[in-house]
Amino acid sequence: MNGLTRPVASYLERSGLLQRLGADGVFWSADQAILAIDRRRARMAEGLAG
């Protein structure tokens, strides 16, 4: 998830969804989310190759 406003983030926190997603599942911008996905995919590819 990215670009959450404070009220939405607060609601998701109270609902427990943010905890289920984990800190690495929430980003302040789409750019950050895309870079994180790229890093995860690269690590996965390295694991498959090694």
Q: What is the pLDDT of residues 15-37, one digit of tens each?
A: 999 899 887 888 888 999 999 99
Q: What are residue 2's DSSP bridge partners?
A: 27
Nearest-angstrom CA–CA distance, 27 and 25: 7
Among all chains, which residue has been given the structure tokens 């607060």? 10
Give the sign of the dihedral formed by CA 16, CA 22, CA 23, CA 26: negative
**Can you give the residue ranges of every domain in the chain?**
6-49
Token pair belonging to 11:
């609601």
Per-residue pLDDT at 50 exceeds 70? no
Q: What is the pTM of this model?
A: 0.59
- Please, are residues 27 and 35 in contact by the beta-carbon 8 Å criterion? no
Length of the chain: 50
